[in-house]
């Protein structure tokens, strides 16, 4: 086997790997230095918390491995999984050439935890909210089994070593279906002897050849037959869960959607090259149809992937898929990633029979040709009115041009039915009129068309908005809060950071709108929390609020919209507000320079944001306007 660090630079699949003997020959401090160097080469500079975790874990782990006496076994630290950007803490490779064994280990330095009964997550003092580690490592196990090209040759098992975890906390962790279903063991405080015996039982005798190590580390992304078998077995549950999260309309397609699904899958079955560009407005069922296409293609044994840019929506869908089988969410990929593992990254080595792209209006032009070349048949779902930022170039014309460069003429299709919002097309038409010409006399609500089926209300204060949502929640409805990305920038690193306060006092912008109120509502920042927010009732607590990046693609029964100071009514028309109170600088809507300026097409892009906000509610939308003049106009005109 080559030197660990040298091979890492060649293959870049882990921060360090070699044999257990090589790891033991290094003192813990030397191994820590090698880990930091290899991590920098493979992934970038490690955080201080990662370095501290290695420093705490390495001495104890090396002591246990030395006691088991398996010097010729392989070991890898911070192994990147074949899909996504997650990393397994430690891999141990042993067994024989005829029966190679991979032991996936997650290391935790936690001492105590509490369980959130509503979400199933664990609350760790000093560490915050986390997945149950058995569920976490079950997902790692599944992704390796399903998407690593060498995995079918290996017996893949998993465990969690948490040497400081007390007995009560260990009982909470162990009380999960993943432990029972996949045989994952937890080794807690005073259980190092059990951990040693498990390693010995799983990996020894070790007679595996170094070539097996090399082949595994050189393995690439693939979709094994096992994946198809698993999702065929659980497809109904997957479809049901995903639909519950994304569309109350149920898992059945409309006739319009069914015809289009059949047309696309027919092209796949005939291996007939085709690009389908499907335009659909808010709530027309684009994501629902994309999921059905994915499941049906897998059921037919096709290689297929669903690409989405929105990391919050990815989190929701991954959770749904992993309820059927941990790791099955690897069928979902991003458009592009900094690590080059998206369908728009040229270096991503993957081909499919069917490529599905949802929210494709958010794709950049250079990614389109790369993506379309990955499969003979592509289904591109987009809504040009939901572009959010200047770099997003996914228009029908742009995809037509990209297809033409590959020698194809795209099939343009339109989804016309509004299947999510109970107000139907009439409500969507009213939203279009509101955003295009607010001075028109036709904005008085057409209650004869949708008033009996859908609620739209203007609230006089944030307190009134929260109180009304609480009443609706108490009727067993799912509610959620969304707000313009103004007043506070948010801080993903710490939920308690002052920059996370969006509704309350003091605000980062310096505005004293909520001085004297009892409101204290923070931004929802972490992608993993969106699963809890939209799927498992965390939104019903009305303690956090989602930005536009957490609203696109999601919905609740009733959604409360906090309309900020980025889009105002002045002289009867919409106008942009002060750019200094807008913190939406991610992709250039507002410049990051000291002289903050709106991008030239900012008015259109900000209107697109509110179009999304106003179509998230299935049964109703309640709006509070923070700007006084805009609020007065709304109360008199709407």
Q: What is the pLDDT of residues 166-210, one digit of tens each?
A: 999 999 888 875 556 568 899 999 999 999 999 999 999 999 998
Q: Residue 176 in 3-state DSSP? A: coil
Q: Residue 478 in 3-state DSSP? A: coil
d(CA 399, CA 276): 10
Give me the CATH code for the 424-637 domain, please. 3.40.50
Write out 360-404 in H/E/C secondary structure: HHHCCHHHHHHHHCCCCEEEEEECHHHCCCCCCCCCHHHHHHHHH
283 or 124: which carries more pLDDT confidence? 124
Q: What digits encode the pLDDT tens for the residues 544-577? A: 999 998 887 777 889 999 999 999 999 999 999 9
Please choose, from the candidates 62, 60, 67, 64, the residue with its C-alpha nearest in 3D space to the C-alpha of residue 16: 62
d(CA 360, CA 337): 15
Query: Of 313-317, 367-371, 579-583, which gets the smallest average pLDDT?
Result: 313-317
d(CA 494, CA 506): 17
What was the pLDDT predicted at 419?
59
What was the pLDDT predicted at 395?
94
What was the pLDDT predicted at 117?
74
What was the pLDDT predicted at 445?
57
Domain assignments of the chain as residue spans, ordered by start: 4-217, 225-415, 424-637
What was the pLDDT predicted at 229?
60
The stretch 323-338 carries a mean pLDDT of 80
- On the question of a common fold for 225-415 and 424-637, the answer reads yes
What was the pLDDT predicted at 141?
86
**What's the gap between Cα 236 and its chain centre?**
22
d(CA 203, CA 216): 16
Q: Mean pLDDT, the chain, as a whole number?
A: 85
Query: Of 15-29, 222-236, 576-590, which gets the smallest average pLDDT?
Result: 222-236
Task: Report residue 247: phi and psi, to 5°.
Answer: -160, 115
What was the pLDDT predicted at 424?
77
Please choose, from the candidates 117, 233, 231, 138, the residue with its C-alpha nearest in 3D space to the C-alpha of residue 180: 138
What was the pLDDT predicted at 454?
87
Q: Residue 257 in 3-state DSSP? A: helix
What was the pLDDT predicted at 245?
35
Place of tokens 């992304």: 221
Q: What digits encode the pLDDT tens for the residues 581-609? A: 999 988 889 987 778 899 999 999 999 99
Give me the CATH code for the 225-415 domain, please. 3.40.50.300
d(CA 251, CA 242): 9
3 pLDDT higher than 50: no
What was the pLDDT predicted at 601?
92
d(CA 610, CA 548): 9
Please choose, from the candidates 549, 564, 604, the residue with its C-alpha nearest in 3D space to the C-alpha of residue 484: 564
CA distances from 170 to 111, 122, 124, 134, 279 (A): 9, 11, 12, 11, 50
Confidence of residue 10 (pLDDT cuts 50, 70, 90): very low
Query: Of 101-115, 366-380, 410-424, which gets the smallest average pLDDT?
Result: 410-424
Query: Of 341-345, 519-523, 621-625, which gets the smallest average pLDDT?
Result: 341-345
What was the pLDDT predicted at 182?
66
Whether the Cβ atoms of residue 498 and residue 505 lie closer than 8 Å to each other: no
> How many residues are present in the chain?
638
The stretch 435-463 carries a mean pLDDT of 78
What was the pLDDT predicted at 132?
84
Q: What digits encode the pLDDT tens for the residues 239-251? A: 555 444 333 223 4
Whether the Cβ atoms of residue 206 and residue 20 lie closer than 8 Å to each other: no
């Amino acid at each position: 086997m080559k030197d660990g660090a040298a091979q890492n630079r060649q293959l870049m699949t882990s921060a360090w790997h070699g044999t257990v003997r090589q790891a033991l020959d290094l003192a813990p401090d030397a191994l820590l230095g090698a880990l930091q160097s290899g991590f920098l080469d493979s992934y970038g500079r490690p955080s201080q918390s990662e370095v501290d975790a290695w420093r705490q874990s390495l001495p104890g782990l090396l002591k246990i491995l030395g006691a088991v006496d398996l010097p010729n076994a392989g070991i890898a630290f911070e192994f990147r999984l074949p899909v996504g950007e997650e990393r397994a803490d430690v891999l141990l490779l042993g067994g024989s050439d005829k029966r190679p064994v991979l032991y996936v280990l997650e290391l935790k330095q936690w001492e105590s935890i509490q369980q959130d009964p509503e979400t199933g997550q664990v609350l760790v003092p000093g560490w915050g909210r986390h997945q149950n580690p058995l569920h976490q490592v079950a997902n790692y196990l599944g992704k390796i089994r399903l998407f690593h090209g060498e995995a079918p040759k290996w017996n893949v098992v998993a465990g969690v070593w948490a040497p400081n975890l007390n007995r009560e906390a260990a009982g909470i962790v162990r009380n999960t279906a993943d432990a029972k279903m996949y045989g994952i063991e937890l080794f807690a405080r005073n259980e190092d002897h059990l951990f040693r015996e498990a390693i010995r039982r799983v990996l020894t005798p070790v007679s595996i050849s170094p070539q097996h190590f090399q082949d595994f580390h050189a393995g690439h992304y693939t979709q094994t037959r096992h994946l198809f078998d698993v999702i065929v077995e659980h497809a109904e549950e997957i479809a049901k869960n995903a639909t519950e999260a994304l569309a109350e309309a149920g898992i059945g397609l409309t006739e319009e959607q069914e015809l289009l699904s059949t047309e696309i899958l027919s092209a796949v079955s005939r291996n007939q090259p085709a690009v389908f560009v499907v335009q659909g407005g808010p709530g027309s069922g684009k994501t629902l149809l994309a999921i059905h296409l994915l499941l049906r293609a897998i059921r037919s044994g096709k290689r297929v992937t669903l690409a989405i840019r929105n990391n919050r929506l990815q989190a929701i869908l991954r959770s749904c898929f992993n309820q059927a089988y941990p790791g099955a969410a690897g069928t979902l990929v991003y458009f592009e990633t900094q690590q080059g593992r998206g369908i728009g990254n040229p270096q991503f080595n993957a081909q499919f029979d069917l490529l599905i792209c949802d929210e494709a209006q958010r794709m950049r032009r250079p990614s389109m040709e790369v993506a379309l070349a990955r499969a003979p048949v592509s289904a591109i779902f987009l809504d040009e009115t939901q572009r959010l930022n200047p770099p997003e170039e996914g228009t029908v014309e742009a995809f037509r041009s990209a297809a033409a460069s590959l020698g194809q003429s795209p099939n343009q299709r339109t989804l016309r039915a509004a299947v999510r919002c109970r107000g139907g097309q009439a409500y969507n038409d009213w939203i279009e009129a509101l955003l295009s010409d607010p001075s028109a006399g036709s904005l008085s609500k057409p209650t004869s068309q949708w008033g009996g089926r859908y609620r739209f209300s203007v609230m006089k204060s944030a307190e009134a908005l929260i109180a009304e949502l609480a009443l609706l929640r108490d009727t067993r409805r799912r509610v959620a809060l969304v707000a313009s990305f103004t007043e506070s920038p948010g801080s993903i690193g710490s939920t308690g950071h002052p920059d996370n306060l969006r509704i309350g006092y003091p605000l980062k912008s310096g505005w004293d709108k909520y001085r004297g109120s009892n409101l204290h509502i923070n931004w929802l920042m972490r992608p993993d929390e969106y699963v809890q927010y939209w799927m498992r009732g965390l939104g019903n607590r009305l303690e956090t609020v989602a930005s536009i990046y957490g609203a696109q693609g999601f919905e609740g029964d009733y959604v409360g919209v906090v309309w900020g100071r980025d889009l105002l009514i002045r002289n009867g028309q919409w106008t942009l507000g002060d750019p200094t109170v807008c913190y939406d600088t991610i992709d250039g809507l507002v410049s990051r320079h000291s002289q903050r300026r709106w991008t030239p097409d900012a008015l259109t892009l900000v209107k697109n944001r509110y179009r999304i906000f106003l179509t998230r509610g299935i049964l109703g939308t309640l709006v509070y306007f923070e700007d006084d003049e805009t609020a007065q106009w709304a109360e008199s005109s709407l």
